[in-house]
Structure 1
Amino acid sequence: MDILKIERLYTIEDYLEELSELLIKTVEDGASIGFLSPMESLVALNYWKTVLSPEVTLLVAKSNNKIVGSVQLHLSTKQNGSHRAEIAKLMTHPKYRRSGIGRLLMQKSEEIARNEGRSLIVLDTREGDPSNFLYTSLGYSRAGRIPDYAKSVNGELAATIFYYKNH
């Protein structure tokens, strides 16, 4: 039986290879998270090296001590935004999808946001992706749609949907 746990990473060096593999597999599977397939290992490694900062919380999901998912919580540093946070780059390894990992990562992110005094959470996702169902099932409200927001690997442009949640 797999043992699943959610952990916050404070350093990234020991996890660079696993996180890079997660990012590459997620992008190869078609996720719209800012990168296009095929993705080179060096691009993934360089990305992860820049993620951690005081305003970014990085959570990972581990199954039997192997990283199978991640999410970032970005705390707004603007004076007029000290009450809000943004969810970014929610990823679940394709082999582990539909097992509740994304939901657990989101719930832990929301808990951290509350503990940081953030009453508003925002996020966006490509229109039509399964993640839209996850976000609405967690109580996120649709704020709007922007057409032609993200380019796919074949050059087509897709809309993105913005969501928010007050808590």
Structure 2
Amino acid sequence: MNNDITVRRVGANEASGYIEALADVLIDCVEGGASVSFMLPIPRQKAVEFWTRVAHGVARNERILLVAQSAEGHVLGTVQVVIDQPENQTHRADIAKMLVVRRARRRGIAQRLMTAADAAARAAGKSVLVLDTVTGGDAERLYERAGWQRVGVVPNYALMPDGTLCGTTFFHKQLV
């Protein structure tokens, strides 16, 4: 792992200042084939609008936003912990939009983001985490190495950015 990478929680007052950099990360990942709710071509305005909504969610304490930055301050990755849940699920959180730019992959950044997400969820009083990912993708191995348990696969659940169908694998992690 690189010691020149910092993973930190972005506060409510600073989240809007990260929108442009996070839009760059999202666009890079979608253009690289990541199935993360967006289709090709992904207009910059759509990415900016998404991260603006995320920043508002951070300000409302509905989600925790974590970023991985280089020593120079470049945002290389991100993950969210969605803590706003229905009243019968307040013990749980969703992990969303775990993204690392292509040029920074295979450097342990995703692993560090997921470790930070676990810690942030614990600090928020969460004991169960859930997420979903493309079946057969690199992220499946990452989550399994990080102690996540595979729940199952739903075939043809989503679309890849190019429009082809893909299966989705669901995972959970017990933090207690």
State whether TM-score is above 0.5: yes
Aligned partner of 1:63 in structure 2 is 70
Post-superposition shift, 1:78?
1.3
* 2:67 and 2:76 in contact (8 A); partners too: yes
Aligned partner of 1:110 in structure 2 is 118
Q: Secondary structure at the match of 1:50?
A: helix
| Structure 2 length-normalised TM | 0.90
More strand by share: 1
Aligned partner of 2:42 in structure 1 is 39
* Matched residue type, 1:15: Y
* 1:2 and 1:63 in contact (8 A); partners too: no
Higher relative contact order by CA 8 Å / sep ≥ 6: 1 or 2? 2
Q: Distance in 1 between matches of 2:123 and 2:19?
A: 27
Aligned partner of 1:141 in structure 2 is 149
Q: Distance in 1 between matches of 2:161 and 2:102?
A: 18
Matches within 5 A, 1:18-97: 18-52=21-55, 53=57, 54-64=61-71, 65-97=73-105
Q: When the two structures are aligned, how many residues end up with a matched partner?
A: 167
Residue segments in structure 1 that go unaligned for 5+ positions in a row: none
Residue segments in structure 2 that go unaligned for 5+ positions in a row: none
**Aligned Cα RMSD in Å?**
1.3
Q: Distance in 1 between matches of 2:40 and 2:3?
A: 29
Range with bigger deviation, 148-157 or 23-32:
148-157
Post-superposition shift, 1:2?
6.8
| Structure 1 length-normalised TM | 0.95
Post-superposition shift, 1:8?
1.2
Q: Distance in 1 between matches of 2:142 and 2:114?
A: 9
Q: Distance in 2 between matches of 1:28 and 1:129?
A: 16
Range with bigger deviation, 8-17 or 103-112:
8-17
Q: Distance in 1 between matches of 2:90 and 2:148?
A: 20
Inter-CA distance 137–123: structure 2 relative to 1 (3 Å threshold): same
